[in-house]
Amino acid sequence: MIQLGIQSIQLRGQASNKSEAIKLVASLLVANGNMQAAYSDSMLQREKIANTYLGNGIAIPHGLPKDRELILQTGIAVAQFPEGVEWNSGEIVYLVVGIAARSDEHIELLANLTDVLDDAATIQRLAKTTNAMDIIDCLTKSRDSNTQANESNANNNVHVDDFEKSIDVELNSDGGLHARPATAFVEIAKQFQSEVRVRHGSKIANGKSLVSLLKLGANKRVTIRIMVSGHDEDSALKALADAVRLGLEDEAESGHALPVASSQVMLNFSTPPVAGIAGSIGIAIGPIRHFRHEKIVVAVTAQSPDVEETRLNHAIASAKIQLQNLHDEVKERSGAAHAAIFLAHIEFLSDPDLLEAAVCNIKLGHSAGWAWRDSYSKRAAEVGSLEDALLKERANDILDIGRRVLRLLADALEEEPTAMTEPAILVAEDLSPSDTAKLDPKMVLGICTAAGGPTSHTAIIARSLDIPAIVGAGPAVLNYQDGVMGILDGHTGNLYLNPSEGDLVIARNAQQDQQDQRMAENLACYEPAMTTDGHRVEVVANIGAAAEAEQAVNAGSEGVGLLRTEFLFLQRSEPPSEEEQYKSYCEMTKALNGLPLIIRTLDIGGDKEVPYLSLPSEENPFLGVRGIRLCLARPDLFKPQLRAIYRAGMTGPVKIMFPMIATVEELLAAKAIAEEIRKEMNANPIEIGIMIEVPSAVLMAPELARHADFFSVGTNDLTQYVLAMDRLHPSLSRQADALHPAVLRMIDLTVKAAKSAGIWVGVCGGIAGDPKGAAILTGLGVTELSMSIPSVAAVKAKVRKMSYTESVALAKRALACSTAAEVRAL
């Protein structure tokens, strides 16, 4: 163990803030020859990305792994602050234990520190002592004596506490079982019901408690015994042992890894925060500005009930048209899922109860406006008083729709909000989907709402517009004046009002880091997505228009993994001709210049309606004649498309992909038609793959693989069919998470079947473009990730930062999870 001499202790230290305290302890380490002065900056930098407050008045500042070469000789210094120094808001520190550690020599000392952590009386004594030896004794007295002292209450040394089911594993993390690996261990342990204990020598720790694990003082390369007891003990033991063998995610501490993505960094501000719920990541800095609704004035009574009823019906019809237009606009800009809420709003407007109550009021002599407002406000109040949080949030939707119609019935609009003239953080009680959709992203730096939860549309739309947002910040936030300066941290969900100069500097630096990170990702977008241990993943794009092929290449995409050909069929009055389709595909092969183009045949039906096809309306369109079923039922559409594809196949590496395959028969039937066309045209064969987006396709994957050249998993649909949750449902769509273990297990089965048959698997659903998703999918053995163009650079960067071994371990852990939230927490 390292020695701690009197020269390493500073009693009665004076510091007015955390930085001064760190500088003081750093100066001791420099004076004692432990480190170069520059490591002190590294210690300050570390505070920006991690909280080194250990608990109970003790902090352990240390530098960044990348600066380890500035450490001359591992050492520790302690500065005592009897008056206390504020570390982070509300955390008062009396003992600052500065660490300059090249390796794990300090672990034993840290273990002693954690021994006194629960002992408030000892800490108070050390905080006030005038004898440096008290501190030295406490930190350096042999672990055995500490153990004995604590044994009675910590249960640390009792043999009978061993569980029968156990495994001995050597610690593979570079720094031993220090804070980060121990945290990783606890996170895994908590995923299981079983009790988990860890033995190191004579000590036993609770595997689900961080402090307990730190108390073990386990250095690197020591062997620990993991013990489990409970109904899921086998899987718990396996998951924990695997994680320990793989180093417990300790790579970043080893000094070899790249810096943590700035978007995931925890920032420590000295200004007290208004705490809300993280809605959309990113940092916004600027003055706040309140969003106010206009006041809609309507007469209470009216002369003619008939006239009022007609006015109401007209207003509702106009509102439906507005909503349809809004839907189309948002869909164009942010995709179908984000636009779906406006379809739900149209549906709300057809609610007979809402209308009936309004008509009743009209018959009693009220104006259409008054009658309507009374009806929707009462309905919103009813929904708002429900227990279910998701339903509660729908009250906001009812008010939003209500106001939309009311505006059309208004006699006057008062206090209309003025357009924003300079960029600001928008603060509001809540924002309706219509309000959010109208926002100008250039003027809105960030959004903070007093109400709402993570499922609110404010959060969802803010994410799609890439605006940092927090929701549910509470009504106090509404009391601040327009113009008050704010920092909004969308990652933690905190808003800092009237921030200090120091905090503004931290925020600006973090914002700059994020921009730099994006820029770096974009600059490196043409580099292959190769893991640190040499495993290559193909990163390609999903496109839905000819012009996007070129944009995809410019963004670093290595081809097109999914061409949604529906774009050729929508918003027109008749189907496109073979020639038109051919020209469009050729435009893409030309732009791709030798890169692959996977053309998915028409996937109409479900949510994708084409009026001129006059398809019969269906009770359950998602379970009806959609995708390949429609292609097979309508050879007049299918055959010209196949002809156009085979012709385009002469101009570049084109592949065919069939959507929504649910049975082997469908695949064989579709292939037979394709082959018939090919022969007629005397064209070259083209590889034919299928989308895996129906549970039956997963279960039949071994059979389907015999007839397909590749699989591409459509996680958007697969998720909705596996979880039985409509992908466009306004309140369920958030739970329909493609990282749900049920969906991941489906992908795992698909990959295994494909591997046995010797074909490759891609993923082209939304989750492939989420860096977390990309990491897990890579670990599951997926070899191609296809995503929207803006995600290409970030996903490639993510793959390049991880090792394949790590991602395989991550995928294993994800498969063992019980919920999507657990997977995301990994």
Residues with a known catalytic role:
62, 178, 457, 764
Q: Which residues pair with 597 in a beta bridge?
A: 560, 654
CA gap 344, 394 in Å, rounded? 11
Of the candidate spans 88-96, 376-384, 470-478, 709-717, the one that interacts with ligand PEP by CB under 6 A turns out to be 709-717
CA gap 539, 529 in Å, rounded? 7
Residues 675-694 that bind ligand PEP (CB under 6 A): 693
10 Å CB burial of residue 242 (0-12, 13-18, 19+) is middle
User: Which is closer to ligand PEP, CB of 557 or CB of 715?
Assistant: 715
Are 367 and 300 spatial neighbours (Cβ–Cβ below 8 Å)?
A: yes
Lay out the site mask for Mg ion across 692-711 (x = CB under 5 A, - = otherwise): -x------------------
Of the candidate spans 397-405, 479-487, 648-656, 713-721, the one that interacts with ligand PEP by CB under 6 A turns out to be 713-721
Of the candidate spans 409-417, 662-670, 696-704, 714-722, the one that interacts with ligand PEP by CB under 6 A turns out to be 714-722
User: Which is closer to ligand PEP, CB of 88 or CB of 696?
Assistant: 696
Please name the amino acid found at residue 424: A
CA gap 439, 301 in Å, rounded? 35
10 Å CB burial of residue 243 (0-12, 13-18, 19+) is buried
Please name the amino acid found at residue 792: V
Q: For the CB of residue 773, give the shortest distance to ligand PEP in the complex, in Å.
A: 12
User: Which is closer to Mg ion, CB of 396 or CB of 641?
Assistant: 641
Check binding of 716 to ligand PEP (CB under 6 A). yes
For 72, list phi and psi in degrees, rounded to 5.
Answer: -90, -40
Check binding of 564 to ligand PEP (CB under 6 A). yes
Check binding of 397 to ligand PEP (CB under 6 A). no
Q: For the CB of residue 563, give the shortest distance to Mg ion in the complex, in Å.
A: 13
CA gap 78, 127 in Å, rounded? 11
Contacts of 363-366 spanning 24+ positions with Cβ under 8 A: 363/305, 365/301, 365/302, 365/305, 366/300, 366/301, 366/302, 366/308
Are 26 and 43 spatial neighbours (Cβ–Cβ below 8 Å)?
A: yes
Q: For the CB of residue 783, give the shortest distance to ligand PEP in the complex, in Å.
A: 17
User: Which is closer to ligand PEP, CB of 211 or CB of 728?
Assistant: 728
CA distances from 190 to 197, 664, 816 (A): 12, 41, 12
- Taking CB under 6 A as the criterion, the residue among 65, 468, 714, 779 binding ligand PEP is 714
Q: For the CB of residue 347, give the shortest distance to ligand PEP in the complex, in Å.
A: 21
Q: Which residues pair with 78 in a beta bridge?
A: 9, 97
User: Which is closer to ligand PEP, CB of 250 or CB of 717?
Assistant: 717
Check binding of 717 to Mg ion (CB under 5 A). yes
Check binding of 784 to ligand PEP (CB under 6 A). no
- Taking CB under 6 A as the criterion, the residue among 455, 565, 715, 778 binding ligand PEP is 715
Check binding of 605 to Mg ion (CB under 5 A). no
212 binds, among Mg ion, ligand PEP, none (CB under 5 to 8 A by kind): none
Report the run of H or E that residue 680 belongs to, with start and end. helix 664-681
Tokens standing for 265? 């960094």
Of 81, 98, 102, nearest in space to 47 by CA: 98
150 binds, among ligand PEP, Mg ion, none (CB under 5 to 8 A by kind): none
Check binding of 282 to ligand PEP (CB under 6 A). no
Residue closest to ligand PEP when measured from CB atoms = 714
Of the candidate spans 271-279, 309-317, 347-355, 716-724, the one that interacts with Mg ion by CB under 5 A turns out to be 716-724
User: Which is closer to ligand PEP, CB of 468 or CB of 762?
Assistant: 762
Q: Which single residue is written with the structure tokens 């928008």?
A: 426
Q: For the CB of residue 699, give the shortest distance to ligand PEP in the complex, in Å.
A: 18
CA distances from 53 to 22, 85, 86 (A): 12, 11, 10
Of the candidate spans 24-32, 181-189, 282-290, 685-693, the one that interacts with Mg ion by CB under 5 A turns out to be 685-693
Q: For the CB of residue 660, give the shortest distance to Mg ion in the complex, in Å.
A: 7
Q: For the CB of residue 331, give the shortest distance to Mg ion in the complex, in Å.
A: 16
Of 632, 641, 549, nearest in space to 594 by CA: 549
At residue 787, the 3 state secondary structure works out as strand
At residue 543, the 3 state secondary structure works out as strand
Q: For the CB of residue 606, give the shortest distance to Mg ion in the complex, in Å.
A: 8
Check binding of 714 to Mg ion (CB under 5 A). yes
CA gap 324, 321 in Å, rounded? 5
Tokens standing for 19? 């930085």
Q: For the CB of residue 715, give the shortest distance to ligand PEP in the complex, in Å.
A: 5
User: Which is closer to ligand PEP, CB of 514 or CB of 565?
Assistant: 565
- Taking CB under 6 A as the criterion, the residue among 369, 596, 765, 769 binding ligand PEP is 765
The footprint of ligand PEP (CB under 6 A) covers 562, 564, 603, 693, 714-717, 764-765
The footprint of Mg ion (CB under 5 A) covers 693, 714, 717
